[in-house]
Amino acid sequence: MSMSEVITRKLTEALTPAALEVIDESHLHEGHAGHRQGGESHFRVKIVADAFAGKSLVDRHRLVNEVLAEELSGQVHALAIKAEATGN
């Protein structure tokens, strides 16, 4: 299973998003810190979920980071997050 698929599965199971896009941007970071041969090290996540309702931007990012803690402590070097509550 690719890292994009792992991220998608974990966020879907934990947050039941109304919309989710996981983009592997590793190719944009060739030659930079954390880049891995074969990619799957730098990601952008766009997620819309009820779980973010009433939460600050920092709390939304913290929630995504908690769900992906294992990946962020290993293979994923960078994660850009756009997290919105459903209905925003």
Q: In this structure, what CATH number is given to the domain that contains residue 79?
A: 3.30.300.90
Across 5-77, the runs of DSSP E, i.e. the strands, are 19-24, 42-49
The β-bridge partners of 45 are: 22, 81
| Per-position pLDDT tens, the chain of length 88 | 899 999 999 999 999 999 999 999 886 656 665 555 666 788 999 999 999 999 999 999 999 999 999 999 988 988 999 999 998 7
Expressed as residue numbers, the domain containing 16 is: 3-85
Specify the number of domains making up the chain: 1
Model pTM score: 0.86
